[in-house]
Amino acid sequence: MPTSRFRNLQPLNASSAEDTTGRPSNDTVSSYTSTHYEDEASLEAGYRVPPPEIKNIVDAPPVPALSFSPCRDKIIFLKRRALPPLAELAKPEEKLAGLRIDGNCNSRSRMSFYTGIGIHQILPNSKLGPEIAVTGFPDGAKINFVSWSPDGRHLAFSIRLNEEDNNSSKFGVWIADVEIGESRPLFQSPNVYLNAVFDNYVWVDNSTLLVCTIPLSRGAPPKKPLVPGGPKIQSNEQKSIVQVRTFQDLLKDEYDEDLFDYYATTQLVLVSLDGATKDFGRPAVYTSMDPSPDHKYLLISSIHRPYSFIVPHGRFPKKVELWSANGKFIRELCDLPVAENIPIASNSVRKGMRSINWRADKPSTLYWVETQDGGDAKVEVSPRDIIYTQPAETLEGEQPMIFHKLDLRYRGISWCDDSLALVYESWYKTRRIKTWVISPGFEDVTPRILFDRSSEDVYSDPGSPMLRRTKAGTHVIANIKKESDDGRYIILNGVGATPEGNIPFLDLFDINTGNKERIWESNKEKYYETVVALMSDQEEGDLNLDKLKILISRESKTENTQYYLVRWPDKKLVQITNFPHPYPQLASLQKEMIRYQRKDGVQLTATLYLPPGYDPSTDGPLPCLFWSYPGEFKSKDAAGQVRGSPNEFPGIGPTSALLWLTRKFAILSGPTIPIIGEGDVEANDSYVEQLVASAEAAVEEVIRRGVAHPKRIAVGGHSYGAFMTANLLAHAPHLFCCGIARSGAYNRTLTPFGFQNEDRTLWEAANTYVEMSPFMSANKIKKPILLIHGEEDNNSGTLTMQSDRFFNALKGHGALSRLVILPHESHGYSARESIMHVLWETDRWLHKYCVSNSSDEGEDHDSGSVGKNVSKETTYAESKVVATGGGGSKEVSDLDYDEFHLSKSSL
């Protein structure tokens, strides 16, 4: 039999040999690409990089983003760079009111950006014309907030530069002529800068923008007093019931309030393309600007004091006002008080007017929703929500009109015209979702239910109506006409979930009869195709089915995503992009959507990836990485439904588990971990049992297929997946040899007012909180676990302290564990140095404790002496890494910065 390139170049054990049939024995594991990892005692501090086969994929240049003009005659390619350097994340940032602000740029911190803009004409044959590069701005500019003018003749965008000591790092607003690509600053004065903490700018009409600017009168930021003016006091002498999630980056004192006002206060300015400007209102903390479809009015939202120290800015007192487009104040729509007491139960909302918007099908008609249950989902009342409408300018004494009443929670509206609007309502506890058909202009037409279904039942999803763009720049449901047919048709764009995987579709749907005709469907034999946009909406009126034009994306298991235009009636595809394969070294990887059953009968699915050229019959079982994220369901049938497509291209992100295909791993990606609570049963009350049962079924399946070595299966996950990982190592140690847990929360008593979809408090479900917490089972974890966490995690519930305390608990019981704290990183990781180091740590962990499985060879973790050689935790300038094992612990500095060779020029 020919020698396989997967066969043991370096056998795991000397006895790991083939049997007389030539097939691998049960103790044989296929070769893992050899990499030398130093003994821990010899490692030095610094950032490291993973092996080249992983590094090269992560460093590959990203494909550009695409945006089509309002007239659908042009397309822009927004060019992007690879991963940012850590120096960008290391810039100072202010943590205020749930935000992180870059004070130098006066924007949200850590913003990504584009490096260039290329414009292409869409030719009559649907091909793209030659690129016209947008020019005129300085080299090295960072581009953000790209926006088409309503007529598609201009692009607005912002730029900033790298200088840190002057105003060039702030956002300037620029305008480009899309016909020739030339750009120029919008403001004639060089001292006008964008305030991008909340909104940035909006086109009021084809030649005028309303821009959020830093007030010219603003001075230096407030200075923190050396001596506080008094103690920090919070009081609840009114005995209010205030239950809030574990929010981060909240305001702490009066100085924080002043600093928040300093950075968030905006002067709105009306500016025309010829540079003429006019101040719009007074400086305030404006959060959004929304022009009416007829461009005569503006909805202006702002927040104001008194601020809160226990909730983020989204719950601060909020004011919504109506202004004319030329800057005249008309009236105040609402002024809502601080919302500190929104109940934690799912579907609970703020009291008062919410979701205030313009009707997309009318020149200037407002609509909004008001709760009838006080915002508390636990209150039983009918109706629960009422939708109101009202003209922008009302007659004296004119009251809002009731548009529709809902018994579930309002979810949204798709507008069409006076004879059609679709209203959506839903309720999380029951997973019920309803769609109403309403005739807004005909009071005598009774609203009727169009769809009433479970949101979990993906097989019954009829799809969503396709929207068309109007000349006013809004989006409404597209009316479709057929020759010699007077039916009322719309198009439903569906995911097309089936037991064989997703098969996206377009259905021509008669809104009156409910009859439907499939007019397009993805090529299910090889490709996964999805409808991106309707491209035949340049003209007003109904769209002719025979002249329909859509944009689709197409991909396969081995072909990366490309975009195509499809025209009716022949439905011929014309390819408009030709992006190179992002990782050709994995172009022939093997992908299969597999199905198997949990012991309680629940059907489960997963996507199994195998390295290129691998054959289990001749190459033997591989080390396997199991990577997942649990989900909650109300029914076993819904939990067992297939989601995703076997033909989707395997997108590999910078920290994806699929990177280990290059290291000859089998990857079990996204095995479903349903936590089911049918009827009145709470899902989390049996979380551990269902978690273990799901993992057992998945592991048994990959072993049965012969692709995974039973002693070489690692488990990993991020956030709630990290929580899953720690629980599996505690409660199912027989399944996995080691684990990787990134940015998780491990002690649910530290999030006492709910977490994930659990809306009971700790005091209402104490046993569930304790039993679900792997922190409480730290003494049961005997398999090696790698903990990784961003030092500046901003996600609710996953404070960095969670990993610190969990590691200390593991260390206190002698568990083989390692904690890596990434400086400057948040819940997800951004900097190249950090990501490369995470990959290096993960690869080293998998090599040592999965492939070599050193934790099984001569180590007795139960008999270790906890009391000796307890380490001091050390925070290094580059990385904080502490490792323990066996019966003690030791400090480990594990990187050599000279090995990294990173410079800005190399990016």
Give DSSP secondary structure letters for 836-852: HHHHHHHHHHHIIIIIS
Angle at 367 between CA 363 and CA 372, to 5 degrees: 170
* Structure-block tokens of residue 19: 């049997």
Q: Which is the catalytic residue, given 373, 793, 843, 894? A: 793
Question: Any long-range contacts for 809-813 (C-beta under 8 Å, 24+ apart)?
Answer: 809/775, 809/778, 810/778, 810/781, 810/785, 810/884, 811/870, 811/871, 811/882, 811/884, 811/889, 812/778, 812/866, 813/778, 813/779, 813/781, 813/866
The full 3-state SS of 754-796, as one line of letters, equals CECCECCCCCCCHHHHHHHCHHHHHHHCCCCEEEEEECCCCCC
Look at residue 725 and give its three-state secondary structure.
helix
CA separation for the pair 843, 471 (Å, rounded): 54
Give me the half-sphere count of Cα atoms (radius 13 Å) on the Cβ side of residue 367.
20
Q: Which is the catalytic residue, given 158, 426, 694, 719? A: 719
CA separation for the pair 544, 549 (Å, rounded): 10
| 793 noted as active-site residue | yes
Which letter does DSSP use for residue 314 in this model?
A: G
| 709 noted as active-site residue | no
Q: Which is the catalytic residue, given 120, 827, 837, 847? A: 827
Angle at 178 between CA 176 and CA 183, to 5 degrees: 20
CA separation for the pair 266, 259 (Å, rounded): 13
CA dihedral 546→551→556→558, nearest 10 degrees, is 140
594 CA to centre of own chain: 26
Torsion angles phi and psi, residue 139, rounded to 5: -60, 145
CA separation for the pair 359, 391 (Å, rounded): 10
The full 3-state SS of 422-451, as one line of letters, equals EEEEEECCCCEEEEEEECCCCCCCCCEEEE
Q: Which of 513, 550, 506, 344 is nearest to 437 (CA)?
A: 513
Q: Other CB atoms closer than 10 Å to residue 714's CB: what's the count?
A: 28
438 CA to centre of own chain: 33
CA distances from 499 to 455, 458, 639, 670 (A): 17, 10, 12, 17
Enumerate the β-bridge partners of residue 830.
none
CA separation for the pair 51, 56 (Å, rounded): 9
* Residue partners of 34: CB distance under 8 A and separation at least 6: 9, 10
Instruction: Classify the C-alpha dihedral 635-640-641-644 as positive or negative.
Output: positive
CA separation for the pair 353, 345 (Å, rounded): 20
Torsion angles phi and psi, residue 787, rounded to 5: -105, 130
Q: Which of 361, 471, 491, 343 is nearest to 413 (CA)?
A: 361
Calculate helix-pair angle for 687-704, 720-731, nearest 10 degrees.
80
Q: Which residues are catalytic?
A: 719, 793, 827
